[in-house]
Amino acid sequence: MKWLLIASIPLYLIGSFRRPLFVAALLLQLGFLACRGLTLGRLPLIGPGDTLAFFSCSIALMSLPFLYSRELCGERRFYWSCGGLAALFALIALSFPTLNMPLPPILDTYWFELHVALAFFAYALFGVAALLGGAFFLRGERGFLDLQYRAALTGYSFFSLSMVSGGIWGYYAWGTYWLWTPKELWTSILWLFYSLYLHLRAKGTEWDRRFAWLGIFGFLVTLFTYLGVSMLLKSSHSF
Amino acid sequence: MLKQLHNRLASLNLGLWLMSGVMLALAVGSFSRGSSKSGGLNDLPLFLWLREAPLPFSWWLWIAVALLVVLCLNAALCGIEALRKGRSLAPQLMHAGFLLVVLAHLISAYGGYKQQFQLGEGGSIGFPDGERVQIERISAETGPMGVTSAFGAELRVASGKLSEVRPNVPLFQKGYGIYLKEVAMTPEPVALLEIHREPGALTALLGALLFTLGNVMLLAQRRGR
């Protein structure tokens, strides 16, 4: 069923200027994830291959409300940038082998699936916020910043819920809602970063450019929290 | 003078600098030996670890904790100020939730407890009041790929009741949680159990709920704006 994921990439890259083709590519990815889920009997959320595919699909899914928003009607370059971002991570996902092992007993709980899925929805929205920051610099329209704020705030809400569900899972799995590992430290950093970003909104319009830059930089912090920490540092969340 | 100090402590600018400082301290700390597995940070309650760990291991956490204390004061003063001025309740609920979560960490950092036991069938764990919990049976199932797909242990508590502990299903007894970490079936069944006391857990949950409530209210307020 890997062809579903492979087919979504050119569709995103060539066709995502048009919303119906963007949706078609997303449906292919959802089909891929559904097939993986049925094969494994669980959500495909373990290992870099599956999580990157899930991340790519989350980016497209979380982009949809923005693509169909009144403010972004006809913004084809923005549609394509969302599609391009989803395609990039789908492409990276293909370079990793998929893990077909059964779920280790400690991960066999709905709290784990909720924790991870919410985190990826948040990461995806932080990615959309970064793209909207880029659009602000290209077009200079303040409307993009309002949308960036909305994307980041929704992402922050998902991320906070992910931390809560992770804490509940940790309490039942390890006896503590918090572990001092590099992943948890970077999770705190990412949460604090977007707390800072949301507070910065209160500084007024003269901070607009810095606000937009922070929205872009936040996605780099997100990527380091997700990929950098998992690959470079030893942690309870390492791949 | 006091008014000036209050204004400074409640200011948004101070909050932004403190958040940046905590982030920086944690980022540096994530690469330090203190946060690595060998640093032992997860083996002891936080304040005990901070007291015992050498400064080259723990300096970043001292800085983060110190900044966090001022950040909490900043969040509390800012929240009170906003409520006095009749501003939206949602961000203040989020501030209160954050403060409760930090308080929960403080409680756990003082009163947390963790101990590992490796026991076979018939082995038992004693509680401070003399009560014992005994392992009756240890079991494991192997999946199709040869890996352990499920494992558990039956524990008998003092009342004679039998309870099963499994991964994600601990047994709570006298304020402690008994967690099954691993089992080995050969040469004879042995279970690795961990006893935890996390006195801040309920406060953390309360803080998380309050934060989530404020967050949902904020999302509803910002919709369409």
Please provide the average confidence, as pLDDT, over all residues in chain B: 91
Which pLDDT score is estimated for A239? 53
pLDDT in tens, A193-239: 999 999 998 888 889 999 999 999 999 999 999 999 988 876 666 55
Picking from A142, A174, A186 by the largest number of B CB atoms within 10 A of its own CB, the best residue to mutate is: A174
Q: In what order do the strands lie in the sheet with B162-165?
A: B124-126, B132-142, B148-156, B162-165
B72 or A107: which leads in pLDDT: B72
Which pLDDT score is estimated for A231? 82
Q: How far apart are CA A186 and CA B128, in angstroms?
A: 38
ipTM over 0.90: yes
Residue B196 pairs with which residues in a beta bridge?
A: B114, B177
Q: How far apart are CA B2 and CA A223, in angstroms?
A: 44
Burial B153-182 (b: 16+ CB within 10 A, else e): bebbbeeeeebebbbbebbebeebbbbbbb
Which pLDDT score is estimated for A102? 78
Which pLDDT score is estimated for B40? 85
Contact call for B219 and A189, based on CB within 8 A? no
Q: What would the DSSP string read from start to end of B147-174?
A: SEEEEEEEEE-TTS-EEEEBTTB-EEET
What stretches of chain B show up as alpha helix (H) in DSSP? Answer: 2-9, 12-30, 46-52, 55-84, 90-111, 201-222
Q: How far apart are CA A201 and CA B225, in angstroms?
A: 13
Burial class (CB in 10 A: 0-12, 13-18, 19+), A38: exposed
pLDDT in tens, B68-123: 999 999 999 999 999 999 888 999 999 999 999 999 999 999 999 999 999 999 99
Which pLDDT score is estimated for B71? 97
For residue A214, give Cα distances in angstroms to A84, A149, B10, B161: 21, 11, 23, 57
Q: How far apart are CA B212 and CA B97, in angstroms?
A: 8
Interface list for B 113-132 with A (CB within 8 A): 114
Interface list for B 57-76 with A (CB within 8 A): none
Structure confidence at residue B224 as a pLDDT band (50, 70, 90): low
Report which of B125, B133, B196, B180 is spatially closest to residue B159, judged by C-alpha positions. Answer: B133
Chain B residues touching A40 at Cβ < 8 A: none
Find the farthest-apart pair of alpha carbons in chain B and give their distance in angstroms, rounded: 73
Which pLDDT score is estimated for A238? 57
Tokens of residue A212, six digits: 């937009």
Contact call for B198 and A171, based on CB within 8 A? yes
Say whether A17 sits in a helix, a strand or coil: coil
Contact call for B148 and A172, based on CB within 8 A? no
Which pLDDT score is estimated for B78? 93
Contact call for B23 and A160, based on CB within 8 A? no
What single DSSP character describes residue B33?
Answer: G
Q: Report whether A102 contacts B143 (CB < 8 A).
A: yes
Q: How far apart are CA A59 and CA A79, in angstroms?
A: 12
Average pLDDT rounded to a whole number, residues A170-178: 93
Q: How many CB atoms lie within 10 A of CB B1?
A: 5
Instruction: Please state whether beta strands B148-156 and B176-184 pair in parallel, antiparallel, or not at all (unpaired).
Output: unpaired
Q: Is the pLDDT of residue B214 over 70?
A: yes
Q: How many CB atoms lie within 10 A of CB A145?
A: 21
Structure confidence at residue B175 as a pLDDT band (50, 70, 90): confident
Closest to A175 (Cβ–Cβ): which among B169, B177, B216?
B177
Q: Does A223 contact chain B (CB < 8 Å)? A: no
Residue matched to tokens 């159990």:
B193
CA B176 to chain centre: 14
Q: Is the pLDDT of residue B223 over 80?
A: no
Q: Does B20 contact chain A (CB < 8 Å)? A: yes
Chain B residues touching A181 at Cβ < 8 A: 35, 37, 42
Q: Does A196 contact chain B (CB < 8 Å)? A: yes
Structure confidence at residue B146 as a pLDDT band (50, 70, 90): confident
pLDDT in tens, B177-202: 999 999 998 889 999 999 999 999 99
User: Hey, what amino acid is at A180?
Assistant: W
Q: Is the pLDDT of residue B145 over 60?
A: yes
Interface list for A 12-71 with B (CB within 8 A): none
Domain boundaries, chain A: 1-103, 106-239
Contact call for B168 and A101, based on CB within 8 A? no
Domain boundaries, chain B: 2-111, 114-197
pLDDT in tens, A67-89: 999 999 889 999 999 999 999 99
Q: Is the pLDDT of residue A9 over 80?
A: yes
Structure confidence at residue A16 as a pLDDT band (50, 70, 90): confident
pLDDT in tens, A47-70: 899 999 999 999 999 999 999 999
Burial A192-216 (b: 16+ CB within 10 A, else e): bbbbbbbebbeeeeeeeeebbebbb
Tokens of residue A20, six digits: 């119906």
Instruction: Please state whether beta strands B162-165 and B148-156 pair in parallel, antiparallel, or not at all (unpaired).
Output: antiparallel
Q: Does A7 contact chain B (CB < 8 Å)? A: no
pLDDT in tens, B23-79: 999 999 999 988 887 888 888 899 999 999 999 899 999 999 999 999 999 999 999
Chain B residues touching A111 at Cβ < 8 A: 168
